[in-house]
Chain A
């Protein structure tokens, strides 16, 4: 394995890690759907359900 290969692996690993980190950090910050522009239209209970978490029981 050449040095260039190692550098490319490192670059790919860094890019993918950043993408995964962004998704995880978003979840921790309450942004449930990374890359959704409509977060401000979307109530918390829907976001929770969308992400497979226990939905807050809504009272109609």
Chain B
């Protein structure tokens, strides 16, 4: 039996899907998390007769007339794949909005079961819904559900009703209009819509009793007046991000990391003792420094990252991130984007690939492509170890480093959008309407699951891709081109050094013209965590966490002296790695979404130019401020940056001129 889960965005479809199938699909307390159909079997505990029940979780839709691509997926599935039963999830706290879509589903003739979800929130608000009267009015079963609860959640009753309806073979009645049929005129379409709205209003008036009238301000409205305020919103957001970084990288994270890194050190010491002097030094170094040290250096940051992901999951779950989209909307609108572009960027803080992919929910082409090429400027999870490393090594109070990297990312996105708008000559505006989810107490269980899923993935990545890369880096660093072992104290003659040195030359104006940093930046294109792993291998450092002080190496006395660069160059290197092109996988995702080679190469060139320019400015201005003199390679760097800026300005002028010639406000086809 094929069962479709359909309903408005953020009505709790994926949470219900996870609850009835036992899956762990990504959920989020904002609209538009699911952008693709997912299928799974109903779990055994809810299906005692072992029926063949396959559930499809569909993206949220407001109506059967699709506006976005993910709404089309829902419409196509419901209309063309002929599910046996439709479970229509309706947010009980927002009944009138949900029922319009219900009336359209009822017209398809397929049995519909309404799952009246979030009934706990309804109760908390003091509102009531007469379920029997609603069921009578809709002419279909209505089951009250709380999909976030593990018991007394209404799910067994829901599945029972689904099986009964599916087996009965009865056609669904449609109380508002009768069965759906082809509409030929716009007038008829509008007439039908009016009928549906009238029906919904009548039903809601009859079955719903509200404690507080919808035109009165609730506590949530009052909180939103402050949290999503046009001026207060940004500082509040900054404080929240700062607190999260403080918890993860200064307080709780290092405390856990201390124990964790102790285990890695113990493993290293025990293997080292076991090998003693009996092993060939090349093999010993490959195992100890290349594999255990390199992977251990990356894994050492796991506790910090886990705490950060846990805090971010709590923030998402409570409903705050949807407010961030509203706060940023006014700034993004100024540069031709909208708050809708924020959703991919929030998703991109986990991984850039689904972030880029999430841009497909944006209808306007230029806005979608601009968002796809700029989303990866938001630091993803893989970049967090780099932030933690450099914040810890060079900056004692390191919470502001992580916070500022996120805000610098947003700033670069705004500048980037402005430049793209001028280059394309497309000055069209888009408007952003978003349904703000209810604030709720975040689920510790969901946050823990999210954190553990990401932690597991991090360990798998460290044990596979990063391990292989570190082993290769160690081998390339051990041998020269004649495949002789490099003499001790002469690592510059290694294969790795000779490959990375020409690139390192370009980094002199940025303050880190050492081949080790160049090699790490290059391996970072395979996976960004490799930057940390490669630095660990190249500098033979087994862990970057100071186990004695229960904190990241804030004093900078150990690791920074090994690195051989100062704090300003360290910051410049961090910025370079964060804001140059992402890993190859994310570039592949950009290729898929941009659908144009010209846009793709433009995006890669822009990211490279932006990262180089930002790192150059930070290093040179920082050196001037701290040492009273300009940094090394200033003239060469200035020429390179001038060429980059000059070319961008040329493209912007050309775009503006072309737009004027072609009538001003029309898109220039790339």
Contact = CB atoms under 8 A, between A and B. Distances in A.
B75 to A, nearest CB: 13
- The range of chain A's interface size is 20 to 34
Nearest to A48: B592
Given A12-B283, A16-B468, A43 B357 contact: yes
A29 interface: no
Contact of A23 (B26, B350, B465): B465
Interface string A44-57: 11100111100100
A43 B464 contact: no
A40 B588 contact: no
Contact of A46 (B38, B284, B357): B357
Nearest to A55: B592
A21 to B, nearest CB: 9
A50 B592 contact: yes
B35 interface: yes
Interface in A1-47: 1-2, 4-5, 8-9, 11-12, 15-16, 19-20, 22-23, 33-38, 40-46
B88 to A, nearest CB: 23
A41 B35 CA distance: 8
Contacts of A33: 353, 585
B342 interface: no
A37 B286 contact: no
Nearest to A7: B279
Nearest to B588: A50
B377 to A, nearest CB: 18
A37 B457 contact: yes
Contact of A34 (B69, B460, B471): B460
A11 B291 CA distance: 11
Given A4-B275, A5-B283, A42-B354, A34 B592 contact: no
A52 to B, nearest CB: 7
Determine chain A's interface SS by DSSP, over half rule: helix
A19 B456 contact: no
User: In this complex, which of A38, A44, A51 has the most chain B Cβ atoms within 10 angstroms of its Cβ?
Assistant: A38
A22 B286 contact: no
A43 B465 contact: no
A58 to B, nearest CB: 8
A49 B592 contact: yes
A51 to B, nearest CB: 7
Given A45-B592, A49-B591, A9 B283 contact: yes
A43 B35 contact: yes
A11 B33 CA distance: 43
A24 to B, nearest CB: 10
A18 B482 CA distance: 30
Contact of B460 (A20, A22, A41, A50): A22
Contact of A38 (B353, B462, B463): B353
B461 interface: yes
B590 to A, nearest CB: 10
A38 B26 contact: yes
Nearest to A31: B460
Contacts of B401: none
Contacts of A19: 463-465, 467-468
Nearest to A6: B283
Interface residues of B, number: 49
Contacts of B381: 37
Contact of A50 (B26, B353, B453): B353
Given A1-B280, A4-B278, A37-B454, A46 B460 contact: no
A60 B69 contact: yes
B279 A8 contact: yes
Contacts of B540: none
A49 B464 contact: no
B24 interface: yes
Given A5-B280, A9-B283, A35-B461, A41 B585 contact: no
B25 A12 contact: no
A37 to B, nearest CB: 3
A12 B287 contact: yes
B347 interface: yes
Contact of B464 (A5, A9, A22, A58): A22
B453 A37 contact: yes
Contacts of B460: 22, 34-35
A43 B457 CA distance: 18
A40 B18 CA distance: 12
A5 B350 contact: no
B408 interface: no
A37 B458 contact: yes
Nearest to B350: A38
Nearest to A45: B592
Interface in B332-391: 347, 350-351, 353-354, 356-358, 360, 381
A49 B283 CA distance: 38
B36 interface: yes
A1 B287 CA distance: 17
Interface string B44-58: 000000000000000
B589 A15 contact: no
Interface string B23-40: 011100000010110100
A46 to B, nearest CB: 5
Contacts of B69: 60
Contact of B588 (A2, A52, A58, A60): A52
User: In this complex, which of B33, B275, B592 has the most chain A Cβ atoms within 10 angstroms of its Cβ?
Assistant: B592
Contacts of A20: 464, 468
B280 A35 contact: no
A1 B283 CA distance: 11
A50 B38 CA distance: 20
| 9 closest residue pairs by CB, A with B | A35-B461, A37-B457, A41-B354, A50-B588, A49-B592, A38-B351, A37-B454, A35-B460, A43-B36
Interface of B: 24-26, 33, 35-36, 38, 69, 275, 278-280, 283-284, 286-287, 291, 347, 350-351, 353-354, 356-358, 360, 381, 453-454, 456-458, 460-465, 467-468, 471, 527, 585-586, 588-589, 591-593
Interface of A: 1-2, 4-5, 8-9, 11-12, 15-16, 19-20, 22-23, 33-38, 40-46, 49-52, 55, 58, 60
Given A37-B381, A51-B588, 13 more contacts: A1-B280, A4-B278, A8-B283, A8-B284, A12-B286, A22-B463, A35-B462, A36-B351, A36-B585, A38-B26, A41-B350, A41-B354, A46-B592
15 contacts: A2-B278, A4-B278, A16-B468, A20-B464, A23-B464, A34-B461, A35-B457, A35-B460, A37-B453, A41-B26, A41-B358, A43-B357, A46-B354, A50-B585, A51-B588
